[in-house]
Amino acid sequence: TQFIPTTYMERAVDIHGDGHRDIWTTEADALGSAANLLARAGWQTGAPVVTEVALPEGFDFAGWEERDRRAVSAWAMDGVRPVSGEWSPDDLYRPARILLPAGASGPAFMAFTNFDVIMRYNNSTAYALGVSYLAKRLSGLDALPGDWPQDNPPITRSQARELQQTLTDLGHDTRGVDGIFGANSRAALKSFQAANGLTPDGYAGRLAYEAVMARAQ
């Protein structure tokens, strides 16, 4: 369950009913405590978690930000649609944001409130996607997200530091050089991409790294 001591004190529960909150050897307490953590973080029973979507031709990557949350109906008006099926009437009113974990050339996802609840448990997009699609497979879903680009893998942390420093040197300030490619670094990379005729998706992959390094020479 990866509970730190304070989380255990605040969130662990005795599902087994023996008077002890045993998340180490009692399966019911471990699963119940994890469920309680998610519930306390705002989990919405029966609501969607994440859906793979298709972006329309001409999608505004420059204006898109990973943290931007809009009603699904607003995204739908811009041409964003699920890869399979149609939006349900209930989903159209739900707030959601678009994720591009592998950049514009990889699969796109619509992440709902429950996705962010999973990230409260572990603040990693890759982790939350893994948990979400494991749950989908367990419930009988066969389809997994579309192919991820094989020629544009994520860069290493040392390369990320080098990329941050080079972007800043080129006038696209990342507001820090720590090897963690957060919102400020993505904004700086998007600025560079837009200025150099590239798709401004802010994805720190090998192709973006090579483009920035080449520009600095």
Q: What is the mean pLDDT of the chain?
A: 94
* Cα atoms in the 13 Å half-sphere on the side-chain side of 15: 15
Beta pairing partners, 110: 51, 98
pLDDT recorded at residue 2? 81
> What would the pLDDT profile of 42-80 be if each residue is shown by its tens digit?
999 999 999 999 999 999 999 999 999 999 999 999 999
Closest CA to 84 of 108, 53, 55: 53
Q: Which domains does the chain have, with CATH numbers?
A: 5-40 (no CATH), 50-138 (1.10.530.10), 157-216 (1.10.101)
Q: Which two tokens stand for residue 120?
A: 């409260």
- Using the predicted structure, report yes or no on whether residue 137 has a pLDDT greater than 80: yes
Mean pLDDT of 125-147: 88
Beta pairing partners, 102: none
> What would the pLDDT profile of 95-109 be if each residue is shown by its tens digit?
999 999 999 999 999
Yes or no: say if 3 and 23 are a contact pair by the CB < 8 Å rule: yes
CA end-to-end span of the chain: 48
Phi, psi of 108 (to 5 degrees): -110, 150
pTM: 0.89
pLDDT recorded at residue 148? 86
Residue type, 67: R
Residue type, 88: S
Using CA atoms, how far apart are residues 13 and 2, in angstroms rounded to an integer? 15
Using CA atoms, how far apart are residues 116 and 124, in angstroms rounded to an integer? 10
